[in-house]
């Protein structure tokens, strides 16, 4: 892959947006001034919901600086970093350079420690479109990635000294994960309209997220052959850190998958089938933000105001599973394993919604064509 592909150009981002939206427009307003971009609408699943996507920056980066950025991204690409990581780093560097341009700085060797301190202040006082400040974790992420870039330039001999040495990153607090109670989770699972094909698909997505505890990107990347019914697991080919693994899946989630495969997916899939399990109504693979919006919509539909979307299911599943295990471990002979191991056999016994017996058949059988 050419190194230039790692840098998200205005054209490539606009092309991506164009492929995933019916209407799109450029986000042209300045990050520096905190002004919002124009709204765009995605496919029919969004039902008119508006989101904002950054499609391009209104700056001109010097060719020499562009080459430095491309060389840096190539250097971390050969170390095995994901394309998502490269994209994020490229975007954060561009954001930083955009701010530098407003301060009259064009080249990295013109950036001093004072410049970086002003940029840190800018991030602290910056307000998003909803009037909220950037979280400390976001500020930490942007500053730490800029610091990595300057360290690399210094080690490569491109800068006589590293101006980020004096940069003190913001302290980030550890927050307990957001979880739902079992009653809240059941209410969320009941939100999709099972009288519609997209409703059955959405319910299946929620059931799989809760049963397996897999991440958003891992769910998006699941292929049909990754479901192993015989062993009761789903295969994650490339999870976080490019690590593969298996995750147990309960019988209840498998029931929903069977219904989705037999009734919904054949309707959504196009002739050139990508093989991904979950598809939009137009037959495309889900985009990350689309999937998050879909899950978030059902959480809000259950009148739950807790923040989060897909990752809530991961934390909730782990908490419920661990809670059941703690009770199981109190019985004689049930010693707590060291280290604690998560496996399919325990999953079927301990996950609160693993068995088909916990499936609310009475009210849902008509929707699934299972009779009364």
User: For the chain, what percentages of helix, strand and coil (3-state, to nearest 5) are there?
Assistant: 55, 5, 40
Percent of the chain exceeding pLDDT 90 equals: 39
Residues in Cβ contact with 35 at an 8 Å cutoff, skipping those fewer than 6 apart:
29
Q: Which two tokens stand for residue 57?
A: 């920056």
- Mean pLDDT, all residues of the chain: 75
Token pair, residue 176, equals: 């307990």
Q: What is the C-alpha separation between 31 and 29, in angstroms, rounded?
A: 7
Among 111-115, 163-167, 173-177, 233-237, the least confident range: 173-177
Nearest Cα to Cα of residue 59 among 121, 4, 103: 103
Read off the pLDDT band of 40 (50, 70, 90). very low
Q: Mean pLDDT, to the nearest integer, of 343-348?
A: 56
Instruction: Please tell me the CATH code under which domain 3-166 is placed.
Output: 1.10.150.130
What pLDDT does 241 receive? Answer: 76
Q: What is the pLDDT of residue 45?
A: 32
Residue range 182-240, pLDDT digits in tens: 999 999 999 999 999 999 999 999 999 999 989 999 999 999 999 998 888 899 988 88
The angle that helices 136-155 and 63-77 make with each other, rounded to 10 degrees, is 100
Beta strands 227-228 and 50-51, pairing class: unpaired
Could you tell me the residue ranges of all domains in the chain? Answer: 3-166, 182-368
Stretch (H or E) spanning 261: none
Please identify which residue in the block is written with the tokens 């109190």: 330
| Confidence class for position 8, pLDDT limits 50, 70, 90 | very low
CA separation, residue 360 to residues 356, 357, 364 (Å)? 9, 8, 6
Q: How far apart are CA 200 and CA 367, in angstroms?
A: 9
Average of pLDDT values for 31-37? Answer: 31
Q: Which of 128-132, 167-171, 239-243 has the lowest mean pLDDT?
A: 239-243
Asked if residue 339 has a cis previous peptide bond (ω within 30° of 0), the answer is yes
| pLDDT tens per residue, range 109-123 | 888 889 999 999 999
Distances, alpha carbon 316 to alpha carbons 83, 239, 323, in Å: 29, 19, 10
pLDDT tens readout for residues 44-86 = 332 332 222 333 333 445 677 888 888 898 898 888 888 888 8
* pLDDT band (50, 70, 90) for residue 356: low
| pLDDT at site 119 | 93
- Asked if 325 and 350 touch (Cβ cutoff 8 Å), the reply is yes
pLDDT of residue 103: 78
284 conformational bin, left if phi > 0, alpha if psi -120 to 50, beta if neither: beta
In this predicted structure, what is the pLDDT of residue 352?
A: 59
- Write out the DSSP string of 21-81: EEE-----S-TTTT-----EEE-GGGTT-EE-----------HHHHHHHHHHHHHHHTTT-
C-alpha span between 61 and 68 (Å, rounded)? 11
Contact in structure between 143 and 169 (CB atoms under 8 Å): yes
For the segment 340-348, the average pLDDT, to the nearest whole number, is 53
Of 362 and 147, the structure prediction assigns the larger pLDDT to: 147
Could you tell me the pLDDT band of residue 346, with boundaries at 50, 70 and 90? low
**Whether pTM exceeds 0.85:** no
Q: Judging by beta carbons within 10 Å of its beta carbon (0-12, 13-18, 19+), is residue 146 exposed, middle or buried?
A: buried
Average pLDDT over residues 167-190: 89
User: Is the confidence at residue 318, as pLDDT, over 60?
Assistant: yes
| pLDDT value for 324 | 58
Question: What token pair was written down for 9?
Answer: 């150009």
Would you say domain 182-368 falls under CATH 3.30.1490.20?
Answer: no
pLDDT digits (tens, 9 = 90+) for 255-272: 999 999 999 999 999 877
Alpha carbons 227 and 6: distance in angstroms, whole number: 32
Q: Mark out the alpha helices in 233-287 (DSSP H runs).
A: 251-259, 265-268
- Angle made by CA atoms 77, 78, 79, in degrees to the nearest 5: 90
């Amino acid at each position: 892959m050419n190194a230039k592909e790692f840098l998200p150009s205005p054209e490539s981002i606009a092309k991506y947006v164009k492929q995933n939206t019916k209407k799109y427009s450029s986000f042209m307003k300045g990050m520096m001034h905190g002004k919002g971009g124009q709204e765009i609408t995605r496919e029919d699943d969004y039902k008119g919901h508006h989101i904002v996507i950054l499609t391009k920056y209104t700056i001109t980066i010097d060719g020499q600086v562009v080459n430095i950025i491309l060389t840096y991204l190539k250097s971390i690409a050969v170390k095995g970093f994901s394309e998502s990581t490269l994209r994020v780093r490229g975007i954060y560097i561009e954001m930083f350079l955009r701010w530098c341009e407003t301060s009259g700085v064009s080249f990295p060797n013109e950036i001093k420690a004072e410049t970086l301190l002003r940029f840190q202040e800018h991030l602290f006082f910056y307000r998003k479109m909803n009037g909220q400040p950037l979280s400390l974790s976001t500020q930490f992420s942007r500053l730490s990635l800029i610091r990595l870039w300057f360290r690399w330039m210094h080690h490569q001999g491109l800068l006589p000294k590293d101006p980020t040495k004096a940069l003190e990153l913001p302290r980030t607090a550890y927050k307990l994960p957001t979880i739902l109670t079992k009653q809240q989770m059941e209410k969320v699972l009941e939100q999709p309209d099972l009288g519609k094909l997209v409703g059955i698909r959405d319910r299946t997505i929620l059931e799989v997220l809760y049963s397996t505890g897999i991440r958003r990107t891992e769910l998006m990347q699941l292929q049909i052959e990754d479901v192993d019914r015989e062993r009761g697991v789903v295969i994650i080919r490339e999870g976080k850190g490019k690590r593969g693994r298996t995750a147990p899946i309960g019988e209840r989630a498998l029931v929903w998958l069977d219904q989705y495969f037999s009734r919904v997916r054949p309707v959504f899939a196009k002739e050139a089938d990508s093989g991904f399990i979950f598809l939009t109504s137009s037959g495309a693979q889900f985009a990350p933000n689309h999937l998050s919006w879909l899950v978030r919509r059902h959480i809000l539909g259950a009148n739950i105001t807790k923040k989060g979307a897909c990752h809530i299911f991961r934390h909730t599943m782990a908490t419920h599973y661990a809670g059941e295990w703690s009770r199981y471990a109190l019985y004689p002979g049930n010693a707590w394993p060291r280290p604690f191991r998560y496996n399919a056999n325990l999953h079927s016994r301990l996950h609160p919604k693993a068995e088909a017996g916990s499936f609310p058949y009475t009210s849902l059988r008509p929707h699934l064509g299972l009779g009364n």
